[in-house]
């Protein structure tokens, strides 16, 4: 939430049991209700002082430049980083190649010179632009006008995932994070390792997800790394991500539903070795795309036919889901339930050519 009064601006965010104040300071409360009450009270006080609502800096890049000016007046290097990265990304038109390269060098220099200030206690776990160490960085960032837009985290020596997350959330650069990708909770090993996201997801749900988080990717682990992944319980995390639009789970097992979210639009589940019985019972009024890849589709398909969730989808993907001709026959028999889909992708299953040909007579958009 951002409010302005003349040339003054003030920002505040409610994230679970935390309230993040202007300047990045955090206030923690014993409950979500207490944090919400403090959040509303602070906004009301500012409005009484003459402040009015304004577009959030995460979407209003002009407002972000105003914020950069304020930081530069305070001597904060983040202010110049915002301005230079914004110019490099959004003001390239009409610039000569030499001017663009000059901006790139300036961004590089700012990230190099102010590495410790930007990353705080995590500085030793993040690569400087001029170095190739650490070999396994715990934190990787895609920048957007001075702030971390996409963040990838993974276990590193002497740093557990949940501790990494707690320290990351204290950094000002994390305040406008829109995408979180979670890698391995274990260190590389030639043996099968047991890893878990339970503590991490519990921490995110307890403290509150970033206010602007729109994409969450779990299980982003190379298949060459042998990890038996316990996802934990996804339900509290999804419910706490108030603006979540895209959820992708790439591997693992855990409690995957029923999920509750008013904003989730796309759900992707890969390499999940369980029948996903709870997914169709989820309350996801905005969901339009459901993809299951390398999973068990027979039970899921039967349950989808019994619930209204199927009717709201525009795209359904069930690839490498061990579906056979009887499953395709049931889809063909209920073609009216699938006819509205703009994409029905059933490739890489065990269908005969004749079954596919018969199904396409009623479902011409079918990919199989």
Q: Could you report the per-residue pLDDT of 28-71, keeping only the tens digit for each?
A: 887 778 888 888 998 899 899 998 887 666 666 777 787 788 78
Neighbours of 168 (CB within 10 A): 24
- What digits encode the pLDDT tens for the residues 99-123? 889 989 999 999 999 999 999 999 9
The arithmetic mean of pLDDT across residues 351-365, rounded, is 95
> How many Cα atoms sit within 13 Å of 308 on the Cβ side?
4
pLDDT of residue 23: 59
Whether the CA torsion 285, 289, 295, 301 is positive or negative: it is positive
Strands 179-182 and 215-218, by their bridges, are parallel
Residues 6+ apart with CB under 8 A from 298: 275, 321, 322, 323, 324, 327
What are phi and psi for residue 76, nearest 5 degrees?
-85, 120
- What digits encode the pLDDT tens for the residues 319-328? 999 999 999 9
pLDDT of residue 133: 86
Three-class DSSP category at 193 = strand
Residues 6+ apart with CB under 8 A from 346: 317, 318, 319, 321, 323, 328, 331, 366, 367, 368
- What digits encode the pLDDT tens for the residues 211-236? 889 999 999 998 888 889 999 999 99
Whether the CA torsion 116, 120, 125, 129 is positive or negative: it is negative
pLDDT of residue 197: 96
Q: Are 184 and 195 in contact (CB under 8 A)?
A: yes
Which residue from 271, 240, 241, 239 is spatially nearest to 253, judged by alpha carbons?
271
Three-class DSSP category at 296 = coil
Task: Look over the chain and give the mean of its residue pLDDT values, rounded to a whole number.
Answer: 90
CA of residue 21 relative to chain centroid, distance? 22
Percent of the chain with pLDDT over 70: 98
- What digits encode the pLDDT tens for the residues 127-166? 998 888 898 999 999 999 888 999 999 999 999 999 999 9
pLDDT of residue 293: 97
Please, is 127 exposed, middle or buried when counting C-beta atoms within 10 Å of its C-beta (0-12, 13-18, 19+)?
Answer: middle
pLDDT of residue 93: 77
Starting at the earlier edge strand, list the strands of the sheet with 18-21.
26-28, 18-21, 8-15, 2-5, 52-54
Q: In terms of C-beta distances under 8 Å and separation of at least 24 residues, what long-range contacts does 28-31 make, across chains too?
A: 28/207
**Which of 95-109, 183-197, 245-259 is modeled with the greatest confidence?**
245-259
Q: Is the pLDDT of residue 358 over 90?
A: yes
Q: Is the pLDDT of residue 282 over 90?
A: yes
Which residue from 141, 200, 219, 212 is spatially nearest to 176, judged by alpha carbons?
212
pLDDT of residue 288: 98
Can you tell me the distance from the alpha carbon of 173 to that of 42, in angstroms, rounded to the nearest whole number? 23
pLDDT of residue 303: 94
């Amino acid at each position: 939430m951002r409010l302005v009064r003349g040339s003054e601006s003030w920002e505040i965010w409610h994230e679970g049991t935390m309230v993040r104040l202007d300047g990045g300071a955090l206030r923690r409360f014993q409950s979500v209700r207490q944090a919400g009450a403090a959040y509303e009270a602070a906004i009301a006080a500012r409005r009484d002082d003459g402040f009015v609502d304004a577009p959030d800096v995460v979407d209003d890049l002009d407002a972000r430049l105003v914020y950069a000016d304020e930081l530069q007046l305070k001597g904060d290097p983040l202010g110049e980083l915002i301005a230079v990265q914004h110019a490099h990304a959004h003001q390239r038109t009409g610039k000569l190649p030499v001017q663009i390269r000059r901006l790139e060098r300036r961004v590089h220099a700012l990230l190099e010179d102010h590495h410790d200030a930007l990353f705080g206690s995590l500085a030793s776990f993040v690569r400087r632009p001029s170095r190739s160490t650490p070999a396994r960085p715990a934190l990787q960032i895609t920048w957007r006008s001075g702030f971390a837009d996409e963040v990838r985290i993974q276990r590193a020596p002497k740093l557990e995932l949940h501790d990494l997350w707690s320290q990351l959330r204290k950094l000002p650069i994390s305040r406008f994070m829109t995408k979180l990708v979670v890698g391995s909770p274990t260190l590389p090993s030639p043996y099968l390792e047991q890893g878990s996201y339970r503590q991490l997801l519990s921490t995110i749900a307890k403290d509150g997800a970033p206010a602007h988080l729109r994409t969450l990717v779990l299980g982003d682990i190379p298949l060459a790394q042998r990890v038996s992944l316990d996802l934990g319980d996804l339900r509290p995390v999804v419910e706490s991500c108030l603006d979540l639009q895209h959820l992708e789970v790439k591997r693992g097992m855990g409690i995957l539903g029923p999920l509750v979210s008013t904003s989730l639009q796309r759900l992707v589940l890969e390499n999940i070795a369980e029948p996903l019985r709870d997914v169709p019972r989820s309350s996801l009024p905005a969901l339009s795309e459901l993809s299951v890849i390398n999973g068990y589709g027979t039970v899921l398909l039967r349950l989808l036919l019994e619930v209204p969730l199927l009717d709201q989808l525009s795209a359904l993907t069930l690839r490498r889901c061990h579906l056979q001709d009887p499953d395709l026959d049931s889809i063909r028999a209920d073609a009216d339930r699938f006819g509205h889909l703009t994409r029905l992708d059933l490739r890489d299953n065990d269908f005969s050519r004749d079954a596919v040909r018969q199904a396409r007579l009623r479902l011409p958009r079918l990919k199989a």
